[in-house]
Structures are given as C-alpha cells and as structure tokens.
Amino acid sequence: KAGVTQTPRYLIKTRGQQVTLSCSPISGHRSVSWYQQTPGQGLQFLFEYFSETQRNKGNFPGRFSGRQFSNSRSEMNVSTLELGDSALYLCASSRQGTLPTDTQYFGPGTRLTVL
Amino acid sequence: DQQVKQNSPSLSVQEGRISILNCDYTNSMFDYFLWYKKYPAEGPTFLISISSIKDKNEDGRFTVFLNKSAKHLSLHIVPSQPGDSAVYFCAASRWGGTSYGKLTFGQGTILTVHP
C-alpha cells in the first residue's frame, strides 16, 4: 500500500510570489490535514479537508488556503509569500479524520524556502 | 500560546540505557495523547498513544505514562538502541467535537542514542 506522497519535495520562491503544494493521501483515506513545521515551533495545524470540504482550520492568515478534489487529493496554496513562510509543510491522511483514534499518516513533506 | 510543550530540545543516552522524553500540556480539554517519531527527510510516524482514562500504556520497548493532575506525560524507551535516534514529538487531541484532523504538537525532542 503506497504511503502519503507530496510534491514537490523542495521549492525555492521569492517574497511576494505564490506557491501550490500537492498531497496524495493513502488509498481509501478521505481526510487530509496540513501542518507547518518550523524550527522551535513543532508542527502547527493549518487545516483539514474531508469530502472536498474544509472541516477544521488553524490560526493562520488567509494567505494560506487549500482545497480537496473528488479523489481526495489535496492542494494547499500560499499567496504573497513572506520570509517567515519558509518551513516544512507536511500533509497527513486518515480514513475519516475522526481523531484521536483515526491514526494520521504523514507524507515526507515539502521544504519551502522563501528568499 | 504553546499548549503542548517539550522543554528539552535534545537528549543524549547510551545504548542499552533508558531514554525518558517529557511533555507538558496546559489545555485540560485534551484527553488523548500520542507520540510520533521523525527521521530526517521522512514524515512523522505514529509510535504510541494513551487515553486520559489510563495512566500507562506499553508497547514493547516503549511505555507512555500520563499524570493528569500534573498535566504531564513521558515516553520511556528501554533499552535504547541507536536506531531510536530521531526527533520525538508529543501530540494531544480531544475526542469528538470539532477536532477533525487536528493534532496539537510539541516542539519536538532530538534523541541521540550512542553505541
């Protein structure tokens, strides 16, 4: 069974640009969550999608957005990039997103560097 | 507002000895706790969990202890092996409600096990 895949693995952008990251969940998983990992901050929850609907959202500005497609694949977009957006972006999938017992499986992440 | 805290950024132990990783939380609504392990260039992987109705959960070399009154949990690894060297994240969640897809993570502790 294939794991969670994320593309691209590495990205370099400049301030003011926008970026789109992609996540393909494990087959049969309908919930996709996105997290931002920065040094000293751990993983911070961005949002969760289930059946193409955003069900939960963290405390991030509106520049961070996402969507989910009918095949459960998800994308997140960051507009007007700032230096502080440099981070590892991780996506995690689970069957239903009904935590805590619905285990989340993480992808390897996309390393975004903003210059 | 860091609701889950891992106050030790790093821990170094000798192979065969016990590793103890600590985690504190402030939100009394959390009732389920998890530990994830992360190797470089990989996503976090689920290790072990504990519900707030228990004070101990064991899985092989890994044991998690929960002290609800102190809002503290710890992960014990006995005996420690060099392959355990990784970043360990403590995470917390709530049953039901609007916690869809959301785990609240600590900052992580880098464990190094020396041969």
Q: Do B105 and A42 touch (CB under 8 A)?
A: yes
Q: Which residue's entry shows tokens 């700032």?
A: A82
| pLDDT value at residue A1 | 65
Which chain A residues contact residue B3 at CB under 8 A?
none
Confidence of residue A41 (pLDDT cuts 50, 70, 90): confident
Q: How far is B111 from chain A (nearest CA, A)?
A: 15
Cα dihedral A37→B56→B27→A29 (10° resolution): 50
How do residues B61-92 score in pLDDT, each as one tens digit? 999 999 999 999 999 999 999 999 999 999 99
CA distance B18 to B80: 6
A110: tokens are 């996309």
Out of B42, B96, B102, name the one closest to residue A56 (CB): B102
Residues 6+ apart with CB under 8 A from B37: B44, B45, B47, B86, B87, B88, B89
Query: In whole numbers, what is the pLDDT of chain A averaged over residues?
Result: 94
Contact A55 B101 (CB under 8 A): yes
pLDDT at B2: 82
- Residue A114 CA to residue A112 CA, distance in Å, equals 7
